[in-house]
Amino acid sequence: MPVEWIIAGFLVLGGLFGLIASFGLLRLSDPMQRLHAPTKAGTVGLWSILIASALYGALVEGRPVGHEVLIVLLLLVTAPITAIFLAKVHMHQRMREGDLPPSGTGRSWATFARGPHPGDRAGP
């Protein structure tokens, strides 16, 4: 019986974190602040739900829990990449080169670096 209370605790925790993540996405004022809520709190909320699902599958149903581990690992890898791409989109659209502190490497920030045009082909 205590196992079911632990599972219920994880479910409630995950629901609250998911709600807080979406509320933060709705209410925070700055786009860079808005990146924080879904990429951190949302991930924790989904992890709590998947931990509850793994506990329920292993201890109540008695099945292997490989799927939950796969989804958790996939989220661990993909959430920061999505966040950094969206931060770069915001920098690209809303900021100028002078708005940022110096990068400390002698070059500019990679988002503002001028590369060759994508349609151009190098060579003879």
Partner 1 sequence: MNPVTFGLAFAFGCFGIALLMNLWRLFRSDSLGDRILALDTMVINAIALLALYGIAAETTVYFEAALLFALTGFVSSVAYARFLLRGNIVE
Question: Which residues lie near partner 1 (CB under 8 A)?
Answer: 4-5, 7-12, 14-16, 18-19, 21-23, 25-26, 31, 34-35, 38, 42-43, 45-46, 49-50, 52-53, 56-57, 60-61, 63, 67-68, 70-71, 74-75, 78, 81-82, 85-86, 88-90, 92-94, 111, 118
Contacts of 66 (CB under 8 A, 6+ apart): none
CA gap 21, 38 in Å, rounded: 5
Check: CB of residue 90 under 8 Å from CB of residue 32.
Answer: yes
Tell me the two tokens of residue 44: 């924790």
Nearer Cβ to partner 1 (67/100):
67
Which CB atom, from 89 or from 100, has the smaller least distance to partner 1?
89
